[in-house]
Amino acid sequence: MHKKTAPPILTGKQLRYLRGLGHHLVPTVMLGKEGITENLLKTTEQGLTAHELIKAKVMETCPEDRRTAAATLAEKVGAVLVQVLGRTFLLYRQNPESPAEEQIVLPK
């Protein structure tokens, strides 16, 4: 699992850039009636390690409010909550171990 470090503080420009990249993504993580489980955390960790930016969706059956669930999940995996839009949200976590050509380069 990812080391628990505080996620970086991103500028407005960086957040807009990530929102643009995430616009066409398909949700890969689904929060359902079980809420945030160990299996969901593991899936989220794997997605962030592989792609750095992932989209998740809060189903109607989720016991938590969409914003609360998104913030809680981001905190537990050490990611930045980029955006909550409707029932979907974007998470970003840089993976310094991935090859340079696969890393997302944020604007300054």
What average pLDDT does the chain have? Answer: 90
Instruction: With CA atoms as reference, report the closest residue to 2 among 51, 30, 42.
Output: 42
Q: How far apart are CA 70 and CA 62, in angstroms?
A: 11
Instruction: Give the residue with greater pLDDT, 107 vs 41.
Output: 41
7 within domain boundaries: no
Do residues 104 and 95 lie in contact, with contact meaning Cβ atoms separated by under 8 Å?
no
Do residues 72 and 64 lie in contact, with contact meaning Cβ atoms separated by under 8 Å?
yes
Confidence of residue 80 (pLDDT cuts 50, 70, 90): very high
82 within domain boundaries: yes
Tokens of 60: 């109607």
Confidence of residue 85 (pLDDT cuts 50, 70, 90): very high
Q: 47: domain CATH number?
A: 3.30.110.60
- pLDDT value for 4: 60
- Domain count across the chain: 1
pTM here is 0.90
50 within domain boundaries: yes
Q: Give the domain range for residue 43.
A: 30-93
